[in-house]
Amino acid sequence: MFTKSKKLEIEKLNFVKKKYGKELLIDCSLFSKRKVILRKNPFTIDCYGIYIITSGEGATLLDNNIIPFSKGSLLFFQPNQVRQWQNVSSNFDGYFLVFEKEFTETFFQDNFFIYRFQFFHSNNNSYALECNQDFLSSLIDSCELINTELGNLQEDSHHFLRSILYNILIQINRRFIERYGLSTNLFQNNLGLQFKQLLEAKIRSYQRVEDYANFLKISRAHLNNISKKTFGSPVSVLIKEKLLTEIKRDLLFTNKSIKEISFEMNFSEISNFIRFFKKHTGINPNEYRLKNTK
């Protein structure tokens, strides 16, 4: 269990696009080199991120999951996920690699580019990957190459930086798929990726399989087949899991009342909201909030 006051404000950090003088949607450095403060309070960042742990140990809270880490751990974050450092050892260090999805989407002319990498959008609540020393060393070399380029930008630097980032993403994705026994279908299925994108954007308003089938202009049966083939689960399960994640985030990190959360999640009655939550967690929303925000 983690400790957190539910009255605590969540700090929101924004990516600084012109940090290097002109708009550049990528950044990378050692935590120690930049003297990054490991915030004890919950915070969010509005970009994608990979933390490459090179020494020390600890844990990070990601929404409502505790992710332990040590040397060789890779941690993955989506924009605006609530995170919090916990029990970090004094010898901790590593690289933070952050970027906005436009950095890759524009170049590859692919609106679903970032969704093709399962470690960012996995359906099995896996937010970390352990790597061996050889792979860790290669990632460190790549991060140092990015650092060197950031310190000496040229007209074609954005192309060079994208090529390094793309190489990193592909290598991590291959290992992540192998480690968790995932399907490679995600990389090819645009309809599946479009569904995942819609789910993340619209879950607070739409929770029926029919809604997403209508958005995609396909039948329920077709969407379910795509979901099972691509993600290994039917659409209803993905909707339920995403909805529970959003509800738990609001319970743990906001002062919204149960009634307010129920209304914002588009439940017709608060009793239906409480019944749904208890069915899938075993406790009611108030009990969950009290248990996890002591």
Q: Give the start-to-end residue ranges of the domains of the chain.
A: 11-182, 189-292
What pLDDT score does 190 carry? 83
Residue 83 backbone phi and psi in degrees, to 5: -135, 160
SS3 content of the chain, % helix, strand, coil (to 5): 50, 15, 35
Half-sphere exposure of residue 249: CA atoms within 13 angstroms, side-chain side: 20
Residue 59 pLDDT: 94
185: which DSSP letter?
Answer: G
Cα distance between residue 68 and residue 87, in whole Å: 10
CATH superfamily, domain at 189-292: Homeodomain-like (1.10.10.60)
Distance CA 217, CA 197 (A): 15
Global pTM reads: 0.84
Hey, which bits of 100-159 come out as E strands?
Answer: 128-130
Q: What is 11-182's CATH superfamily?
A: Regulatory protein AraC (2.60.120.280)
Low-confidence ranges of the chain (pLDDT < 50): 1-8
pLDDT at 7: 43
The predicted pLDDT at position 186 comes to 61
Residue 231 has a pLDDT of 81
**Number of helices (H), then strands (E), in the chain:** 12, 10
Cα 31 from Cα 202, distance rounded (Å): 35
